[in-house]
Every structure is written in structure tokens, then in C-alpha cells.
Amino acid sequence: MTHTVQLPLWLFILIVLFAAVTALSHFLLPSVRWFFRLRLERAVKHLNARLSRPIEPFKLARRHDMIQRLIYDPEVSREIINYARDNDVPENVAFQKARTYAREIVPSFSAFAYFSFGIRLAKLLANSVYRIETADNNDATFEAIPKDATVIFIMNHRSNMDYVLVTYLAARSSALSYAVGEWARVWPLSRLIKSMGAYFIRRKSRGALYRKVLARYVHMATEGGVTQAIYPEGGLSLNGLLQPPKMGLLTYVTERFEPDGERDVVFVPVAINYDRVLEDRVLIAADTRGDRRFGARISVVVGFILRKLWQRLRGRDTRFGTAAVAFGTPLSLRDAGPETTIEDLSETLMNRISEAMPVLTVPLIAQALLTHGPLTEEALFDAVGSLLDQIPVQNRVPKPQTLRSELDRALTGLAGRDVISKGDGIWQINDGQRPIMQFYANSIQQFAPGNAALAK
């Protein structure tokens, strides 16, 4: 026992490292984790005190625990067995496939990342790129929803800035959980998005096992009261029009709903519109080709964001006009009744988004020039004013007293992009630019004179 043992230096160092790791994992790290977990719980308690809809325990659950709960769910287990049988593979292989799907879907929400970093970044970025307008009744609409209901924001998808806008605007009320597509599965963007509570979905996946894992996660989140945000169109609008809804996620939200249960589900239609969609030319090009291949690279996007933030910090105003967000009339799933089909529900929600759509200056200019052709500035002002008079009051963003200044600002922006030009005192659409003007006019086509029945 007292004999001297000689060891090579490399082996001694290796033993010390193993001992250090063992001590950390068994004694120090659990205590450290407990310490920070306790501090996090206290911070969340203070945060919930100022949120109108506190963060639900489901959202704060450890990601590892949530993954385990999901893959050992009885329904998922049955689907694992079916997958193994149908694909002639061992059940442990099917189980690992389900675990991979669960790890891909389940977010790692961080209240610190969301409220200390994400919200500040969203606010700074949104105000660096746009002048933000919100409908007067947005706050009242949201506050009127019962506190024990699960809120699902149903939004039209115009730009990737939609995520930023709604996250920023909802920050005083709750933490949103987004369903995001595969475009966001890019490092380091994926880590950031998961820490903000978003969950990834494979829009083109048709595998039964994947669909079951995704469905059960959505069921659990909905039953847990997590405030969610869904784009029923399934992707960005390529032509500015509202697209027919895809009903996959809506089906998952509604298929387990119990009208007599403790928790109602309330859908809040959200209509978003812009004076300038950052990706407009990319989207129009994709529409012309008839595909959804977008050429934008993540490096270009990050570079654009950094430039905008730097310009904002230096006090320069380089904003691209107005971005507006309006809430439509909420729809309670309990009030809708059990006889309501998912098709009826989708149609009703899309109609309410259409009815709440904010009407901005650039779409009005586009509609006027496409309808009447080249116009003098005064004639253009009169045409825009005439169109605005046909819009429901609650949808009008430019007001009569600000219309002239908003028109001048919008015309300057469109001319700076070479979309329109002024010659001999007459404004006209430049050659090859009609698709862009049509893209913006389409965003308010439901209020056009041919659809005057909606303009009440």
C-alpha cells in the first residue's frame, strides 16, 4: 500500500482530468445548476408579474425532459412500432429516428434570451427598418381574451420581418412560440431561434412518424397554454395576395380540443402589411419562375441587419416606410362549436385577416397608377384620397391630415428604387416595374372598387 508507483506523465494528467470531470459531474455541477435554476425561477416569477399572460410551466420545462416526455408518449410509441414494421428495421432504430425528430422540434426556451436579448433586438431592428403602426384596438383585443385560454396568433406571411414585428409587439403580454420552416435550421441562427421558443417543422415531410411526433408536441404545447404563432399560408406570399391556407398545424391544434375542458383555445387573426417588403424582388422572381427557390444567403441577411443597426445607432433615418400590424376579431374554438370543420375554421380566420388588413400609402399609390396610368402629382393625390375614402376607417393607416406628407415620402422611396419616375410633372411606372406595383396593390385588393362590398 505504501509502494511508489511510477506513471508516465501523460497518463497521470489523463487520470487527473478524469477525476476532475467526475468531481464536477457528481458534486459541483449539480450544485451550480441548482443555484442558477433557483435564480432563473425567481427571475421568471418577477417577469410573470408584469406580463398580462404569464409564461406557462410547459414552456419553462427542461428541453431534455420535454424530449423524453415526447418520445415515450404512448401514441408516439405506437407509431414507432408501426414505423419499424413498415420499414423492416429494429424498433431501437425507429426509436432513435423519433428521438432525432423530437430533438429537432422541441425548442430550448430561455426567458433570459427572449426578454433580455431577443425583445431588445427585435425592437431595435424593427424601428431601424420601419416606422411601426398598430391598430388602436390591438391592446384591447388581446386583453379581452380570458387569461386561462391558449392564444394562437394566426398571421398572414408577407416578409421574414413578420417574426420580428409580432415578437416585439407582443412582448408586453407574453412570450410567443413560432412554428418556423427549414430555412431557419442554419447555424448559428438555429440556436438563437430555439432559445426564443420557436420549433422547427419540415413542411415537405410526409412520414407518419414525423407527423405524429410533431402533432403530439403541438398537442402538449396547446394543452399547456403556450401562446403560439402560426402562418396558415405555409410560406411567404409570392404575389402579395393572401394564399389558400394549409391546415396541417391548425388540425394539430384543434383535433384534441375538448369543448368542455378547462382551457379554451382562442385564435387571434393578425394582418400585417408593409410599404416595402424587403424580399419583394426575390419573391416576385420566384413567382415568375413558378417555384419557391429563394436566392438570399444568410450572410447577406446578417450583413443587412448589422448595417441597419449601425445606421440606427448613429442616428440616421434610413427606414423603408411603414409596417403596420392589426388584430382581427378573435375566434374562440369553444364558441365555434364541435360541428365546425377545419376547412370552415381556416376560411373564417383568413377572411378575418383580410378584413383587418392595414392599408398603407405605397399600396394605394400602386393601385392608383395601375388603374389610371400616369398622373400628375395633384391628380395622384386626388386618386389616392379617393381610394382611401373607400377603405373602412379602422383599416386606414395614413390619415387625411398626414396623407400629403405620407404620399411625398412614399413617392420618394419608390423613385429611389427606380420603380416609378417623374417627368414633366407626371408620375408613371417605369418599364419592367409593373410586377412590383402589382405586388403591393394585391395586398389591398379586397378593398379595391371591384370589391366595394367589403369597404363598409
The residues that bridge with 228 in the sheet, in sequence order, are: 152, 177
CB atoms within 10 A of CB 277: 26
DSSP string, 325-349: EEE---EEHHHH-TT--HHHHHHHH
DSSP string, 41-58: HHHHHHHHHH-SSPPPHH
Distance in angstroms (rounded) separating the CA atoms of residues 102 and 114: 22
Are 320 and 380 found together in one domain? no
In one-letter notation, the amino acid at residue 39 is: R
Query: Would residue 373 count as lying in a domain?
Result: yes
Among the candidates 332, 356, 380, a domain finishes at 356
Predicted local distance difference test score (pLDDT) of residue 452: 40
Query: Would residue 75 count as lying in a domain?
Result: no
Are 404 and 323 found together in one domain? no
Cell of 378: 395633384
Contact 414, 362 (CB under 8 A): yes
Task: Look up the domain containing 398 and give its range.
Answer: 361-454
Least confident residue range of 54-68, 132-146, 319-333, 362-376 = 54-68
User: Model's pTM, two decimal places?
Assistant: 0.83
Are 440 and 303 found together in one domain? no
Query: Would residue 184 count as lying in a domain?
Result: yes
Are 303 and 410 found together in one domain? no
Are 339 and 376 found together in one domain? no
Predicted local distance difference test score (pLDDT) of residue 454: 36
DSSP category for residue 389: H
Query: Would residue 8 count as lying in a domain?
Result: no
Closest CA to 167 of 229, 217, 105: 229
Are 430 and 402 found together in one domain? yes
Are 348 and 408 found together in one domain? no
Contact 231, 153 (CB under 8 A): no
Among the candidates 330, 356, 382, a domain finishes at 356
Match 396541417 to its residue by C-alpha cell: 248
Query: Would residue 53 count as lying in a domain?
Result: no
Are 260 and 169 found together in one domain? yes
Query: Would residue 43 count as lying in a domain?
Result: no
DSSP string, 110-150: -HHIIIIIIHHHHHHHHHHH-EEEE-TTHHHHHHTS-TTSE
How many domains does one find in the chain? 2
CATH of the domain at 288: 3.40.1130.10
Distance in angstroms (rounded) separating the CA atoms of residues 239 and 17: 60
Q: What are phi and psi of 359, to 5 degrees?
A: -105, 120
CA distances from 310 to 83, 119, 128, 151, 164 (A): 51, 18, 9, 35, 18
Closest CA to 264 of 195, 332, 179: 332
Are 258 and 377 found together in one domain? no
Predicted local distance difference test score (pLDDT) of residue 80: 95
Are 205 and 275 found together in one domain? yes
Which comes out higher in pLDDT, residue 165 or 369?
A: 369
Are 165 and 313 found together in one domain? yes
Query: Would residue 402 count as lying in a domain?
Result: yes
CA atoms within 13 A on the CB side of 400: 5
Query: Would residue 64 count as lying in a domain?
Result: no
Q: What is the mean pLDDT of residues 81-101?
A: 93
Cell of 360: 398603407
pLDDT at residue 368 above 60? yes
Among the candidates 356, 380, 401, a domain finishes at 356
Contact 395, 402 (CB under 8 A): no
Which comes out higher in pLDDT, residue 25 or 370?
A: 370
Task: Give residue 32's pLDDT band: very low, low, confident or very high (50, 70, 90).
Answer: low
Predicted local distance difference test score (pLDDT) of residue 24: 55
Distance in angstroms (rounded) separating the CA atoms of residues 206 and 233: 18
Are 314 and 427 found together in one domain? no
Least confident residue range of 51-60, 365-374, 375-384, 439-448 = 51-60
CATH of the domain at 393: 1.10.3380.30
